[in-house]
Amino acid sequence: MTGQLAELTEVHRSGRVESFHLGAAVVVDATGQTLASAGPPDFSTYLRSAAKPFQLLTMLDLGLERTGSFGGHELAVCAASHGGEPEHVATVRGLLARAGLGEELLQCGGHWPLDDLARETLLRNGCSAPLPIYNNCSGKHAAMLITCVANGWPLASYLEPDHPLQAHVEGVVAAMAGERPGIGADGCGVPTYFLSLASTARAVAALMALAGEEGAARRVVQAMTGYPWFTSGTHRLAYNLMRVCPGLLAKEGAEGFFAVGIPADRSPWAVPVGFVMKVFDGAGEDARGREPAVASALLSLGLVRDTERPALEALATQPLRTVAGRVVGELRGVLRLRP
C-alpha cells in the first residue's frame, strides 16, 4: 500500500472536530487509467456486496432466464442488498416459486430486515426468529439456485468457491478488473473478492462501458438504475443516489465499501468510469463515515446537476444529535476528488 490515508468524514460536536474516518477513493476508466484518487488506490480489500452486479452479469450469461424472462425489478433484487421490506421479500419468493424451488434451499442464513419498519412489523406480528428470505442477500442466493437448475449443477454446494457457478463468476471478475482476485467468504457465505481499489473501479467502469452495447451488462445496469428501490431500500444510500441522480449505478458493500458506476454522459472525462471508496475502519456505527464522504466526493467531481445538488449536499453534511434529538454538531463529508 502506498500513499497517505485520506480524510473522508469528520464528526463535529459543539464546534470542534471530535473524530474522523480515514480511507481511500479512486476513479478509474475501463482501460485501467487512474483519473483521480485520494489515499492509496492500491489498497486491497474485499468487495463484499459490491460484487453483486458482476455475479448477476455472470448468471445472465449462464442462463438465469432460460426458463423465463425476468422483469427489471426482479433482476434488481437479484443484485440487491435489500432492506427486507415486504415487496423485496415477495419478489424473491416469487422467483423461487416460479422456478419450483423452496426457501429451505437458501443458504444465506437469516437476519432481521435491515429496514426498521419491516423489522418492527415482523416482531409485532409475533415472528420469533428471522428467516433466510429476509436476508439482504436472498435475491442473489435465489438467482444462484435458479442458475444452477438451468445448468444442471448441484444445489447443495452452490456456495463453494470450486462450484462451477462460482468459478465462472471469479473468471468474469478477473477479466473485468484486470487482476486475479483473492477469494474470501462473504457474510452470506458466497465467495467475495479481494482486489485493489483501482482494479475494482476498473471493473465497475468496464461494466458501465459494456452497458453501451446489447447484452447482459446492459440488462444489469438498466435493472439496477431503473429499479433502485429493489436494489437497496427505503432511506438507503444506494437508493437515494440512484433516485436523485438518474444514470448513476450505486452499490454498497459491508465494512465501509462503496462503488459508483458513472456513465459517459455524467463523467467529467466523457467516458464511463468507476468510483470506489473504502472507509478503513468499516465506517463506524450505522456506517456513518460512508454516506457523507460518498456524497462530497460526487459533488467535487462536478457530475451532479443543479437540481440534484441540494439532495447531495444534505447527504454530505448531516446533523449530529443527542439521544434526546437536539442538534449539537454534524457529520461532514470532506472527501474531494478533482477531475
Q: What is the pLDDT of residues 65-101, one digit of tens each?
A: 998 999 999 999 999 999 999 999 999 999 999 999 9
Residue 102 in contact with residue 66, Cβ under 8 Å? Answer: no
Report the b/e string of 299-310 with b at 16+ CB within 10 A.
bbbebbeeebee
Task: Classify residue 102 as left (phi > 0), alpha (psi -120 to 50) or beta.
Answer: beta
Query: What's the pLDDT score for residue 3?
Result: 66
**H or E element, residue 37:** strand 34-38
Q: What is the CATH number of the domain that holds 28?
A: 3.40.710
In a domain, 338, yes or no: no
Query: What's the pLDDT score for residue 17?
Result: 97
- Using CA atoms, how far residue 292 sits from 263, 310, 332, in Å, is 22, 13, 6
Give the closest residue to 250 by CA, choosing from 326, 315, 310, 196. 315
* pLDDT per residue as tens digits for the range 156-202: 999 999 999 999 999 999 999 999 999 999 999 999 999 999 999 99
In a domain, 290, yes or no: yes
Query: What's the pLDDT score for residue 147?
Result: 99
In a domain, 339, yes or no: no
In a domain, 1, yes or no: no
Query: What's the pLDDT score for residue 91?
Result: 99
In a domain, 265, yes or no: yes
Task: Classify residue 213 as left (phi > 0), alpha (psi -120 to 50) or beta.
Answer: beta
Residue 254 in contact with residue 290, Cβ under 8 Å? Answer: no
Query: What's the pLDDT score for residue 174?
Result: 98
Query: What's the pLDDT score for residue 285?
Result: 64
In a domain, 201, yes or no: yes
Amino acid of residue 232: S
Query: Which residue range(s) make up the domain with 14?
Result: 6-333
The residue count of the chain comes to 339
Q: Could you tell me which residues come within 8 angstroms of residue 215 by beta carbon, excluding any fewer than 6 positions away?
A: none
The rounded average pLDDT for each run of 10 residues, N- to C-terminus, in the chain (339 residues) is 85 96 97 97 97 99 95 99 98 98 98 94 92 98 98 98 99 98 98 98 99 96 98 96 98 97 97 98 80 98 97 97 97 94
Query: What's the pLDDT score for residue 284?
Result: 66
Residue 250 in contact with residue 241, Cβ under 8 Å? Answer: yes
In a domain, 267, yes or no: yes
In a domain, 285, yes or no: yes
CA distance 21 to 44: 18
Q: How many CB atoms lie within 10 A of CB 178?
A: 17
Q: What total number of domains does the chain contain?
A: 1
Query: What's the pLDDT score for residue 254?
Result: 95
The reported pTM is 0.96
